[in-house]
Amino acid sequence: QQQVKQSPQSLIVQKGGIPIINCAYENTAFDYFPWYQQFPGKGPALLIAIRPDVSEKKEGRFTISFNKSAKQFSLHIMDSQPGDSATYFCAAAGSSGSARQLTFGSGTQLTVLP
């Protein structure tokens, strides 16, 4: 019930394309859904996060779409650039009990071609 499933495992797009990464969760105690970006040799860095009381959040070129009834959320990267090439992780956390720690998806390796 703690699992967060992420797809696809890898993604290749052309510069300017809009890659979409999807995640699904099962634990209804989760109430915080962040996306992290990780470059080789670095720790994950928070990109954007959403709470379940909104269906969409935009920050710059990054947008999270959230579907509470389907227990799914996704990341869209508008006007993608080669510098966006990295591994992206979705995660989820709750406010109580065993859900309080971040549970991560398995990651999506994004390559943006010039």
By CB under 8 A, name the one of 14, 41, 69, 114 that touches other proteins.
Answer: 41
98 binds other proteins (CB under 8 A): yes
Give Rg (Cα) of the chain: 14
CA dihedral 34, 35, 41, 43 (to 10 degrees): -10
Q: Which is nearer to other proteins, 17 or 38 (CB)?
A: 38
Whether residue 44 has a cis bond before it, omega within 30° of 0: no
Residue 39 · residue 54 · CB < 8 Å? no
Q: Name the minimum Å distance from CB 23 to other proteins.
A: 11
Sites of contact with other proteins (CB under 8 A): 6, 32, 34, 36, 41-46, 49, 89, 91, 93, 95-96, 98, 100-107
